Structure 1
Amino acid sequence: MTMNDQKSFNEIPTLDVAPLIAGPQDPAYSDCVRTLADAAHHVGFAQLIGHGLEGRQARLLDATRRFFALPEAEKMQVYIGNSDNHRGYVPFGEEIMASGIPDTKEAFDLSLDLPPEHPAVKAGTPLLGPNQWPRLEGFRESVMDYYDAVFALGKVIFRAFAVGLGQDPELFLRYVSTPPSQLRLLHYPNNEDAVDRPGIGEHTDYECFTLLKPTAPGLEVFNTDGEWISVPYDPDALVLNIGDLLELWTNGYYVATSHRVRKVRQERYAFPLFFTVDYHTEVAPLEAFKDAAGSDNARAVVSGEHLRAQTMQSFRYMLERLQRGEASLPTDALPYYSLGREAETLEPQRSR
């Protein structure tokens, strides 16, 4: 496989993932895997249909609307700064983009809901543990039902990514047991004064890949010709994009493509699952993707340490803990937002 044969693209491919879900016994499985791998290599993005999550997505949206409609004081009862493992409500202005500009959204962040007695939690693994939950009827059930389903789909996709590389189907999944894969419930209120500013919001995601359910158009992708192209809004589709860690793992064969969300006036919601691997997984270019001299183009990172370092440099409550000496960055932490194509080609800005 070659690293530098990416084709130019002007549209985002759409892929019916029903054969992937059915498994290798499906007659269309191999063709579907090839189409997925081709999209990951040349585009870094795809729209996924046939995922079967529509009912769960409707219930998730209803629960999310009810949560963000609560009074601020009630939402702040589950403020993310009250958590030891980065779970809960993220108020307006809590996140700081790489530009230093506070973001104009609110969020609710969650992950695997592990009890304190779970071995990984008892071992003190960062970013793992219980979620915070508001006192809102049906919220926890609807949110975790969707989380479990989209996480299961992520495992199907991860297996297909390995098969598409001609590797053992379990190549990546052997590192997926209790990963801090985060689901974000994002709320962008109606904003009549919304104005786009060049260079703001352009980013790549720093996990392995993302499965995004948006509720409105506005997503754009930076193509190989140096142009921003729109991702057509399909209410039935999940948007898949490659993240920095999978690009690093394949030494650039699967590409993390820069993207952004245009400022829009209407209220909207978005639900990204940032799929990653277990905290202590070391990610470095696979042997099959090193060049003839046996070298590679990127350093190895410990996936969870990288994720924690990036998070600690982008949330106010964590920055305050750092300033007070109550926390410290992981050893050998990379500077904020320093992996992926975004770090190489564009002024690094992030808005997740």
Structure 2
Amino acid sequence: MTFTSIPVIDVTALIVGADERDAVVDELGRAAREVGFAQIIGHGIDRTLIDELKGAAERFFAESDDTKMSVYIGNSTNHRGYVPAGEEVFAGATPDHKEAYDLSIDLPADDPDYLAGNPLLGPNQWPTLDNFAGPVTAYYDAIFGLGRVILRAFAETLGEPADLFDRFVTTPPAQLRMIHYPHDPSADDRPGIGAHTDYEVFTLLLPTAPGLQVVNAEGTWIDVPYRDDAFVLNIGDLLEIWTNGTFTATSHRVRKVAEERYSFPLFFNVDYDTWVEPLDRFVGEDGPRYDGVRAGEHLFAQTAQSFVYLRRRLADGEIALPDNARPLYSLGREAQRSAPAV
């Protein structure tokens, strides 16, 4: 379907267990099928946690380049740390005009998966900055908890038990990105972040200014209006695969960021080894439209193709893509318009 606006959904009933819960589940399902995006309000996240997260980000990105590069993501073995401008390049895009700090579930240094060389699990690479790790971790825990609630609602709207996916969420590589878009007077001529889909199950985004756009079935880019009381929710690659394309990982980008802007997406994911393939209820006589993928391998393969330091490691033979790695930008609404899924 061709959408022209982004729905706003009040999820209070999901948080408090009110009688209107079924209606909210239906709204989420309709948004996932028809748009792939929604703005959710009534989410219950404490405003203090949000303000303290923003303060931590402002302090970190105001540090010198040398200080930020002391936790450069290329120094890590599990994709954690500072991402300088130009480090991440999406398919067909110019280098993004942004900087970021990436973290995920903070596992101990003796975690067996980390010691075994898992490329996405393990400890975070924290900067030596006062009052940073505490508020960032507090926000991560809160938004991840909201993600669990949304995941159960998605299971229900698919006609499955609410706990369908729960067993896959123990120590997932669910990444929180703290992104800084500097003031850019030439923003009309250059994207802040290139068009892409998100590689995980879904995303819960907290922006501080407008700039986000999503593409509809006709290829028209639609602005997501900025609301300071909402999280932007969008479907990721894995839900598109699980639903055999019934839910769509709608492509999106950031444009015209003339003002300074921060954004904080949580890429909600399932455990690294989770096998994701179309659910039986969505597979017709013609069979599945999508091959199955291992959740963590799909995330790593897409990440390795878009980060300069990982592409360098690929070229040097230090790492390798999984055998069934998809090329960048092979899922989502734009990909569906141009070619059949595989």
Range class of TM-score, shorter chain: over 0.9
Deviation at 1:223, TM superposition (A): 2.2
Equivalent residue for 1:4?
none
Cα separation, 2, equivalents of 1:208 and 1:85: 20
SS in 2 for 1:239: strand
Equivalent residue for 1:345?
337
Q: Is it true that 1:284 corresponds to 2:280 in the alignment?
A: no
Cα separation, 1, equivalents of 2:213 and 2:153: 25
1:50-129 correspondence to structure 2 within 5 Å: 50-53=42-45, 54-99=47-92, 101-129=94-122
Q: Is it true that 1:20 corresponds to 2:3 in the alignment?
A: no
Residues 225/93 of structure 1: CA separation in 2 closer, same or farther (3 Å cut): closer
Equivalent residue for 2:29?
37
Residues 238/224 of structure 1: CA separation in 2 closer, same or farther (3 Å cut): same
* One-letter amino acid matched to 1:316: V
Deviation at 1:44, TM superposition (A): 0.9
Equivalent residue for 2:303?
311
- Root-mean-square deviation (Å): 1.8
Kept in 1, the 8 Å contact 2:217–2:333? The answer is no
Equivalent residue for 2:243?
250
1:178-257 correspondence to structure 2 within 5 Å: 178-196=171-189, 201-257=194-250
Deviation sequence 1:68-102 (CA, Å, 0-9, x none): 00011111111101111000000111112212622
Q: Is it true that 1:10 corresponds to 2:4 in the alignment?
A: yes
Kept in 2, the 8 Å contact 1:110–1:183? The answer is yes
Deviation at 1:117, TM superposition (A): 2.3
Kept in 2, the 8 Å contact 1:244–1:340? The answer is yes
Cα separation, 2, equivalents of 1:280 and 1:288: 23
Residues 8/326 of structure 1: CA separation in 2 closer, same or farther (3 Å cut): closer
Cα separation, 1, equivalents of 2:234 and 2:281: 22
Deviation at 1:9, TM superposition (A): 2.3
Runs of 4+, deviation exceeding 4 Å: none
Deviation sequence 1:197-230 (CA, Å, 0-9, x none): 69x8222212111100011111122223442221
Cα separation, 2, equivalents of 1:346 and 1:274: 26
Equivalent residue for 1:48?
40
TM-score, scaled relative to structure 2: 0.94
SS in 1 for 2:324: coil
Deviation sequence 1:157-201 (CA, Å, 0-9, x none): 000000111101111222111110111000010011122469x82
Cα separation, 2, equivalents of 1:196 and 1:28: 45
Kept in 2, the 8 Å contact 1:204–1:342? The answer is no
Cα separation, 2, equivalents of 1:19 and 1:256: 25
Residues 98/225 of structure 1: CA separation in 2 closer, same or farther (3 Å cut): closer
**Gapped runs of 5+ residues in structure 2?**
none
Cα separation, 1, equivalents of 2:49 and 2:338: 36
Count of matched residue pairs: 337
Identity %: 58
* One-letter amino acid matched to 2:10: D
The equivalent position to 1:134 in structure 2, one of 127, 131, 135, is 127
Residues 127/166 of structure 1: CA separation in 2 closer, same or farther (3 Å cut): same
